[in-house]
Amino acid sequence: MFYNNIVLMQLKKKLKINTERVEGIVKKSEKGYGFLEIDSKVSYFIPPKKIKKVMNGDRIIAKKGFSKNREIVIPEKLIEPYLNTFIGYLQKINQQYFIIPDNQLLKEYIPCNYLKKDISKFESGDWFLAKLTKHKLNQNVFHAELIKFISKKKDPFTPWWIVLSKYNLKKNEPKIDLNNIVFDKNIPRKDLTNFSFITIDNNHTKDIDDAVFIKKKKDGSFFLIVAISDTTAFISYNSKLDVIASKRSFTNYLPGLNVPMLPRFLSEDLCSLKPNKKRPVLACKMIIKKNGSIKNSSSFFLAWIKSKAKLSYRNVSNWIEKKGSWKPLYKDIKNQLKLLYDFCLLRINWREKNSFIFPERLEYKFHLSKLNEVLNISIEKRRIAHKIIEECMIAANLTAAKILSKKKGFGLYNNHAGFDASNINYVSSFLKKKNIIISSKKLLTLKGFCNLYKILKKKKYKYLVNRIRKFQSFSEISLIPKPHYALGLKQYATWTSPIRKYGDIINHRFLKSIILNTKPFILKKDIIQNISNQKRKHRLSERDIEDFLYLEYFKKNNFEDKIFFSEIFEISRGGIRAKLLETGANIFIPSSFIHRIRSELDLNQDKGLIYLNGKLLYKISDVIKVKILNFRTNSKSIIAKLI
């Protein structure tokens, strides 16, 4: 009877609320009010006047109170600001400068100053890295200092510079004096400059790090040499350049821009296996038997080579597939391509039987103007020339893993553990319902994992593949050999891209210590963690740039009447996420565009299914027809509807 009594509420306010405080995260609304979220179930209203003292995402302590018989909280103490160091753009209003955070959840105009230069030299729309120095909850005002200039508003690379700054990635090549680079001349090398090595790459590739040579033996086996640029002959361990390369870890390949791990005079010249140039290499020689397996007699050695031709994937694929007019200039090159093609088919057949080859995914390429406008987006199919080089590199990396394991017991290994053990019982029972009987114990083995995906590939169970993919573990790097389930191999260690990947430089040094019978170098502290972190940041930066380009492309072109085929890859309570098969762009279809009466829809996120009045309507992996409706610039999302 006293539950809603006003007098009791007022008494509670006087006796208790004055001392009761709560801690939580501020969640702001676009309409000027907000809440303090204590956990997933408890939140308190923050009045509009008080919400102005905090930002969305701030962790604060607030005092409980009452307003109009409603329990509220008043922000009192800042625990952790949501903003610390952030990216934003400048805005000049009445001779005063503000920095506006590049965050769709933050709308604050934060007064700012620039300590390094006169801020008046900059214009509204210029981008900066900034640091929040004052918070309104503590000091009655928001204020920021501009730390670093990022880009002018009109720079066509502005989105790139913003993304690279966001993930703390470099925007330029390393700056090293050429005179500080000393080639190691003391290592003996075999002279293979008369061998008919060739390189196959994209037309525009300048950092060429692999060349191959093959011949067929009388017994029908293949003799293959994979020669990789010996970058460590130019980069001594723990030198200034080595430290820089270890921190960068990778060359960053973005649409319209690449930022090299090494200076371009190394990556695109001295270390690049350019045609008719004598270059030092670390080489692996292998015998591939008639059944496609690699003989155990494989070995590594140091050599000099001189590539006889720089070929393109497109020309080689066209020639093998008997398309177009291109043909090899010399008989030796023609013979190399024929043998490499036969080798490739042999290895693909062996891997299909003895390991596993995942179904190929469509890849997309942005064609940009000089001003970085998207002219077109094309599907990049992996053709036979790509597969030839891929099979050469997989064979070489597999061989490196075996030799490192046998000779050293350690190296830098690429691992994939298959399914997460904590979810394996669910995966097994789920498959059983689909008449695929494989025990949990077998699914955790390399053989069981490969057999499952062979079944799914053969029967074209796209829905099942999509459903169980989320229960797989992530790829990792380790110092000890472990299986790579996604490749179907017992161990795998890459060394074939030392111009582009610091992890491959590490394996080069391990392999060279075996060749030269020297003590292995000491691995730098936290290097594996740094490589993993950099890989993740590169992947995120590429995704962000692609999202931006997709948005610009669809905004610029009028596709209102065009029908797109899309494949569903995620179903949530809010709607469908799908990929446009023609361009690769991700789209979102709100539930209101699936069916008008929401109560009749059941969007089952766990099962990846959508039911309408109890009947199955759509599932993950379905291909649907859609039309583009509009764009949400802040979230970089493309909204579509079903047709």
Would you say residue 306 has pLDDT above 80?
yes
Confidence band (pLDDT; 50, 70, 90) for 304? very high
Q: Reply yes or no on whether the pLDDT at 504 is more than 50.
A: yes
| Catalytic choice (500, 509, 544, 553) | 500
Task: Tell me if 194 sits within 8 A of 481, measured CB to CB.
Answer: no
The helix-helix angle for 384-407 and 331-354 (nearest 10°) equals: 70
What is the band of 2 on the pLDDT scale with cuts at 50, 70, 90? very low
**The pLDDT value given to residue 18:** 59
> In this predicted model, what pLDDT tens digit does every residue of 55-106 receive, in sequence order?
999 999 999 988 877 889 999 999 999 999 999 999 999 989 999 999 877 8
85-154, which class in CATH?
mainly beta
Q: Is the per-residue pLDDT at 344 higher than 50? A: yes
Q: What is the dihedral of CA 602, 606, 609, 610, to 10 degrees?
A: 20
Average pLDDT over residues 242-264: 96
Res 634 pLDDT > 80 = no
Kindly state the percentage of the chain with pLDDT values over 70. Answer: 97
Phi and psi, residue 628, nearest 5°: -75, 135
- Do 6-80 and 85-154 come out as alike in CATH topology? yes
264 tagged catalytic? no
At residue 186 the predicted structure's pLDDT band, cuts being 50, 70 and 90, is: confident
Q: How many CB atoms lie within 10 A of CB 217?
A: 12
What pLDDT sits at residue 7?
59
Look at residue 13 in the predicted model and tell me its pLDDT: 54
The catalytic residue among 210, 504, 544, 547 is 210
Is 191 a catalytic site residue? no
500 is catalytic: yes
Backbone angles phi, psi at 626, to 5 degrees: -140, 165
Size of the chain in residues: 643
pLDDT at 3 over 50: no
* Catalytic residue selected from 97, 114, 126, 209: 209
Q: Is 184 a residue whose pLDDT tops 90?
A: no
Decide which of 626 and 7 is more confident. 626
Q: pLDDT at position 1, please?
A: 44
Q: What is the pLDDT of residue 19?
A: 67
| Span 545-571, pLDDT tens digits | 999 999 999 999 988 889 999 999 999
Residues 139-156 as b or e (16 or more Cβ within 10 Å = b): eeebebbbeebbbeeeee
Looking at domain 558-642, its CATH architecture is: Beta Barrel (2.40)
pLDDT of residue 522: 83
458 has pLDDT over 70: yes
- pLDDT of 475 reads 92
Q: What is the mean pLDDT of residues 501-528?
A: 92
What's the whole-number average pLDDT of the chain? 93
Provide the residue ranges of all domains of the chain, joining segments of one domain with +: 6-80, 85-154, 178-416+479-545, 421-469, 558-642
Confidence (pTM): 0.90
Q: Which pLDDT band, with edges at 50, 70 and 90, does 128 fall under?
A: very high
HEC states along 62-112?
EEEEEECCEEEEEEEEEEECCCCEEEEEEEEECCEEEEEECCCCCCCCEEE
Q: What is the pLDDT of residues 217-246, one digit of tens each?
A: 999 999 999 999 999 999 999 999 999 999
33 is catalytic: no
The yes-or-no verdict on residue 402 having pLDDT over 90 is yes
* Closest by Cα among 598, 476, 454, 495 to 228: 495
Q: Are 580 and 559 within 8 A, CB to CB?
A: no
Inter-residue contact 300 to 187 (CB < 8 Å): no
Take residue 447 and report the two structure tokens written for it. 């053989």
**Given pLDDT bands bounded at 50, 70 and 90, which one contains residue 12?**
low
636 vs 380, higher pLDDT: 380
Q: Residue 295: what residue type?
A: K
Considering the domain 6-80 in this protein, what is its CATH number?
Answer: 2.40.50.140
Q: Is 207 a catalytic residue?
A: yes
Distance CA 337, CA 347 (A): 15
Query: Could you say which of 201, 230, 544, 622 is catalytic?
Result: 201
The 3 state secondary structure assigned to 270-330 is HCCCCCCCEEEEEEEEEEECCCCCECCCCEEEEEEEECCCEEEHHHHHHHHCCCCCCCCCC
Catalytic residue, from 58, 126, 207, 544: name it: 207
Task: With cut-offs at 50, 70 and 90, classify the pLDDT of residue 204.
Answer: very high
**pLDDT tens digit sequence for 426-444:** 999 999 988 999 999 999 9
The whole-number pLDDT of residue 521 equals 81
Q: Annotated catalytic residue: which of 89, 97, 114, 313?
A: 313
**Is 177 a residue of the active site?**
no
